[in-house]
Amino acid sequence: MDKVLLLWEGSGLYNLTLPQFIMIAICLVLLYLAIAKKFEPLLLLPIGFGGILANIPEAGLALSALDQAISVLNPETARLFAQELGITLQSAAEEENRLAIKAAVKGLEDPVIYKNLKAIAAAQGYTDGMLYTFYKVTIASGAAPLIIFMGVGAMTDFGPLLANPRTLFLGAAAQFGIFATVLGAVGLSALGVVDFNINQAAAIGIIGGADGPTAIYVSSILAPELLGAIAVAAYSYMALVPLIQPPIMRALTSKEERSIQMSQLRPVSKKEKIIFPIAVLGLVVLFLPSAAPLLGMFCLGNLMRESGVVERLSDTAQNALINTVTIFLGLSVGSKLVADLFLTVETLGILSLGIVAFGIGTACGVLMAKLMNRFSKMPINPLIGSAGVSAVPMAARVSNKVGLESNPQNFLLMHAMGPNVAGVIGSAVAAGIMIMYLG
């Protein structure tokens, strides 16, 4: 009978807290959006599922072995920890001892003692939770976003960009959304609404880059505690691009501007496409070493694609490899959706700032296109400016769709692909600057 009680006391129903319940509900909404509304399902489905797993009470799937040992501290482990930490446990009550040790570990500065505590926890039979393991291998190592970026590179055709390199300026302008949002985040902190430090503000800003792997990579370095909220915001808003962008685009352009027909893109030779990723890498080498992991892997993927001599590698990078990594990246991001990290006023701040970032990026892209139109002989339809935020290929499709509304003969898709992929490079550059400046 004791054992039945044990089973009951170990059950989720007995231990479920309200915040965990809320988080599970939120994750179900993410799953609904992914499946029924097709909101970036490749990421949001595993993220939502991982979020549910992370919030299962008592399962501790998102905890390290040490965290688990502290959260369910038995007397023997408590004794060993106290000995290693050099503290004495006076209290008779186990819970008080547990809190004393938890506080001591939190305040611990000596990494050698920390390593020893981990060894003790492992020796006492505690193991890393499944999601914690996935997180450590995929995100904490930095590998997963980079591998995905390589796959994205292998899927990207820079032809439209090479045919019209000036569209790179549109990709540059749209990054204003990133930095303006940083300013917004520090402003909110200055007003006392929320409490972000500069690293957190930068990580939030990168949502405006509208590029999932970049956002995850940057926040895993600058503010891992916000990674869950930032990734969810980035992917959700990328899915919402068809709702967010059109009103801004219409507000900033006249019907005539939206009807501008662009001259057909020149054909781009294979040689140009092969040399382009090497040229980008060269500029990274010379000017922004801190962007080397992101842009390096991106250019490697693109070179594998365009060189035409390593079809097998390019094919694997675009399929088996990127799919595998996507599953575990999604689950790992989900592991950061635990209630005590996500259910904070900061998350509301992140979600609000994120959509502002998208809006500003869109607006700046459009305005830049209008500006360029003044100085350029070749006409540029300002609608392709909004594609500079990235969100490949959704933003380019939006440009095309809004363009067709004004002029049914005006197919902007290929023209918008230029700023679209320029936006990917632009936000990787912005990411490199932030990492260099703050990392």
Q: Could you say which residues in the range 84-103 bind a second copy, by CB under 8 A?
A: 84
Cis peptide before 246 (omega within 30 of 0): no
Q: Indicate which of a second copy, another protein, Na ion, none lies near residue 61 (CB less than 5 to 8 Å, by partner kind).
A: a second copy
- At closest approach, how far in Å is the CB of 166 from another protein? 6
In order of 218, 222, 309, 428, 433, the CA distances from 288 in angstroms are: 15, 18, 29, 10, 7
Q: Would you count residue 187 as binding another protein (CB under 8 A)?
A: yes
* Chain-centroid distance, C-alpha 291: 16
Q: Indicate which of Na ion, another protein, a second copy, none lies near residue 189 (CB less than 5 to 8 Å, by partner kind).
A: another protein
Q: Which of 265, 356, 433, 438 binds a second copy (CB under 8 A)?
A: 433
- Could you say which residues in the range 292-351 bind Na ion, by CB under 5 A? none
Closest CA to 295 of 310, 278, 308, 316: 278
Q: Indicate which of another protein, a second copy, Na ion, none lies near residue 390 (CB less than 5 to 8 Å, by partner kind).
A: Na ion
Q: Considering the complex, state which of residue 205 and residue 334 has its C-beta at the smaller distance from another protein.
A: 205
Q: Which of 289, 340, 345, 379 binds a second copy (CB under 8 A)?
A: 289
Q: Which of 265, 268, 274, 343 binds a second copy (CB under 8 A)?
A: 274
Q: Number of residues in contact with another protein, rule: CB under 8 A?
A: 54
- Could you say which residues in the range 389-408 bind Na ion, by CB under 5 A? 390
Sequence-ordered list of residues with C-beta below 8 angstroms from that of 308, at least 6 positions apart, any chain = 270
Stretch that binds a second copy, among 179-187, 222-230, 238-246, 294-302 (CB under 8 A): 294-302
Letter string b/e over residues 244-255, b meaning 16 or more CB atoms within 10 A of that residue's CB:
bbbebbbebbee
Q: Indicate which of Na ion, another protein, a second copy, none lies near residue 209 (CB less than 5 to 8 Å, by partner kind).
A: Na ion
Q: Indicate which of Na ion, another protein, a second copy, none lies near residue 235 (CB less than 5 to 8 Å, by partner kind).
A: none
Q: How many CB atoms lie within 10 A of CB 45?
A: 20
Q: Would you count residue 300 as binding a second copy (CB under 8 A)?
A: yes
- Alpha carbons within 13 A on the beta-carbon side of 136: 11
Q: Would you count residue 222 as binding another protein (CB under 8 A)?
A: no
Sequence-ordered list of residues with C-beta below 8 angstroms from that of 49, at least 6 positions apart, any chain = 27, 31, 330, 331, 334
- At closest approach, how far in Å is the CB of 11 from a second copy? 5
- DSSP collapsed to 3 states, 147-191: HHHHHHHHHCCCHHHHHCCCHHHHHHHCCHHHHHHHHHHHHHHHC
In order of 252, 258, 345, the CA distances from 380 in angstroms are: 15, 10, 42
Max intra-chain CA distance, the chain: 85
Secondary-structure percent of the chain, ordered helix, strand, coil, rounded to 5? 75, 0, 25
- What are phi and psi for residue 71, nearest 5 degrees? -75, -25
Q: Considering the complex, state which of residue 81 and residue 196 has its C-beta at the smaller distance from another protein.
A: 196
Q: Considering the complex, state which of residue 123 and residue 378 has its C-beta at the smaller distance from a second copy.
A: 123
- Could you say which residues in the range 249-308 bind another protein, by CB under 8 A? 267-272, 275-276, 279-280, 282-283, 287-288, 308
Q: What span, in angstroms and rounded, lies between the C-alpha atoms of 302 and 277?
A: 6
Q: Considering the complex, state which of residue 77 and residue 219 has its C-beta at the smaller distance from Na ion.
A: 219
Q: Considering the complex, state which of residue 113 and residue 198 has its C-beta at the smaller distance from another protein.
A: 198
- At closest approach, how far in Å is the CB of 58 from a second copy? 4
Q: Would you count residue 176 as binding another protein (CB under 8 A)?
A: yes
Asked if residues 314 and 335 have their Cβ atoms less than 8 Å apart, the reply is no
Q: Which of 169, 217, 298, 328 binds another protein (CB under 8 A)?
A: 169
Asked if residues 358 and 389 have their Cβ atoms less than 8 Å apart, the reply is yes
Q: Which of 162, 233, 239, 299 binds another protein (CB under 8 A)?
A: 162
- Could you say which residues in the range 142-201 bind a second copy, by CB under 8 A? 142-143, 146, 150
Q: Indicate which of Na ion, a second copy, another protein, none lies near residue 220 (CB less than 5 to 8 Å, by partner kind).
A: none
Q: What is the DSSP string of 186-251?
A: HHHHHTTSS---HHHHHHHHGGGG--HHHHHHHHHHH-GGGHHHHHHHHHHHHHTHHHHHHHHHHH
Q: What span, in angstroms and rounded, lies between the C-alpha atoms of 68 and 28?
A: 26
> Which stretches of the chain bind Na ion, using CB under 5 A?
209-211, 390, 423, 427
> Which stretches of the chain bind another protein, using CB under 8 A?
3-4, 7, 161-162, 165-166, 168-169, 171-172, 175-176, 178-180, 182-183, 185-187, 189-190, 197-198, 201-202, 267-272, 275-276, 279-280, 282-283, 287-288, 308, 311-312, 315, 422, 425-426, 429-430, 433-434, 437-438
